[in-house]
């Protein structure tokens, strides 16, 4: 989940998603074998992640097959995004930190509040960046040690789906990959949701990786509660800033 808040805030201008099929219930979700992360990336990108230790991101807004075009409405488009990085930490520790959702508001500057219910598996996110505000509810679906599926069920970007994959690279390192997609007809400027998203993803990945590798973690509530949350004051001084005008 490291990059999910980054994805949401990078798109926090208005987006209209298409209706989608219901998400499989948590209890009956079928376990799947996650793909190898090397198969999800171009060889040059994979090398940049594993050898050059870069946080690689890519966002794309492209035309989609529109089976039911709407009169006087924009054409249907598909937005896809991914981010990948190598963390010098064990898979178990990397996953534990990145799924400690109440800590996001402490580790990520633009997340003001997080609340996660282990009963419903719903993560509530609130915050803002670059004068945009966002509030979303995300259903998290555990599919084993190496995969977490997610679906936004309420708020901004309702209908977006994706997966987070964890993969052991060696005894002391873990690959992390997030990919998501959303169909819609109304979008912010392409530059904003492509290049803007890549900038925010890269910033978030580098900051979270540092927290994991250095052990600079903040503790959440010592006693687990049915719903745990945290809020913290924020400022944008450490965030990448947009130009005055595009």
Residue-wise pLDDT for 52-85, tens only, equals: 999 999 999 999 988 888 888 899 999 999 999 9
Return the pLDDT at 8: 61
Please enumerate in sequence order all residues whose Cβ is within 8 A of that of 54, keeping only pairs 6 or more positions apart, or say none: 48, 85
The mean pLDDT of 92-117, rounded to a whole number, is 84
What average pLDDT does the segment 173-202 reach?
89
The whole-number pLDDT of residue 24 equals 42
Q: pLDDT exceeding 70 applies to what percent of the chain?
A: 72
Q: Residue 227 contacts by C-beta under 8 Å, 6 or more apart in sequence?
A: 115, 116, 117, 119
Banded pLDDT at 13 (limits 50, 70, 90): very low
**Closest of 109, 80, 60 to residue 180, by C-alpha:** 80
Tens-digit pLDDT profile for residues 123-171 = 998 877 666 677 889 999 989 999 999 999 998 878 999 999 999 999 9
Residue 147: alpha-carbon gap to chain centroid: 13
> What percent of the chain clears pLDDT 90, i.e. is strictly above it?
44
Burial class (CB in 10 A: 0-12, 13-18, 19+), 5: buried
Burial of 10 (0-12, 13-18, 19+ CB in 10 A): buried
Q: How far apart are CA 206 and CA 234, in angstroms?
A: 19
- Nearest Cα to Cα of residue 91 among 208, 212, 3, 220: 212
Compute φ and ψ for 103, nearest 5 degrees: -80, -10
Of 29-33, 37-41, 146-150, 163-167, the poorest mean pLDDT is in 29-33
Q: What angle do CA 218, 126, 85 make, to 5 degrees?
A: 60
User: What does pLDDT average to over the chain?
Assistant: 79
Q: Where are the beta strands (DSSP E) in 130-236?
A: 132-142, 147-155, 161-170, 173-186, 228-231
Domain covering 4-19+35-215 assigned CATH 3.30.530.20 in the classification: yes
Helix (H, G, I), strand (E, B) or coil at 76: coil
pLDDT band at 177 (very low <50, low <70, confident <90, very high): very high
Rounded CA separation 198/204 (Å)? 10
* Cα–Cα dist 168/117, whole Å: 28
pLDDT score recorded for residue 170: 94
The domains of the chain are located at: 4-19+35-215
Burial string for 172-192 (b: 16+ CB within 10 Å, else e) reads ebbbbbbbbebbbbebbeeeb
Best CA proximity match to 104, nearest among 223, 230, 236: 230
* b/e 49-75 (16+ beta carbons within 10 angstroms → b): bbeeebbbbbbebeebeeeeeeeeeee
């Amino acid at each position: 989940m490291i990059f999910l808040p980054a994805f949401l805030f990078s798109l926090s201008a208005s987006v209209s998603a298409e209706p989608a099929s219901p998400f499989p219930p948590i209890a009956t979700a079928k376990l799947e074998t996650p793909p190898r992360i090397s198969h999800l990336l171009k060889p040059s990108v994979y090398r940049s992640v594993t050898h050059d230790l870069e946080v690689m991101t890519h966002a794309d807004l492209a035309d989609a097959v529109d089976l039911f075009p709407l009169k006087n409405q924009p054409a249907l488009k598909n937005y896809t995004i991914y981010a990948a990085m190598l963390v010098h930490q064990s898979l178990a520790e990397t996953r534990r930190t990145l799924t400690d959702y109440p800590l996001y508001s402490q580790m990520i500057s633009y997340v003001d509040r997080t609340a996660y219910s282990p009963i419903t598996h719903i993560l509530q996110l609130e915050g803002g960046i670059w004068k945009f505000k966002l509030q979303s509810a995300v259903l998290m679906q555990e599919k084993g040690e190496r995969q977490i599926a997610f679906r936004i069920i309420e708020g901004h970007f309702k209908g977006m789906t994706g997966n987070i994959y964890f993969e052991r690279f060696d005894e002391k390192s873990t690959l992390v990959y997030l990919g998501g997609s959303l169909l819609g007809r109304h979008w912010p400027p392409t530059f904003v949701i492509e290049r803007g998203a890549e900038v925010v993803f890269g910033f978030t990945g580098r900051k979270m990786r540092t927290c994991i590798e250095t052990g600079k973690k903040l503790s959440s509530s010592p006693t687990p509660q049915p719903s745990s949350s945290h809020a913290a004051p924020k400022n944008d001084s450490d965030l990448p800033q947009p130009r005055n005008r595009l």
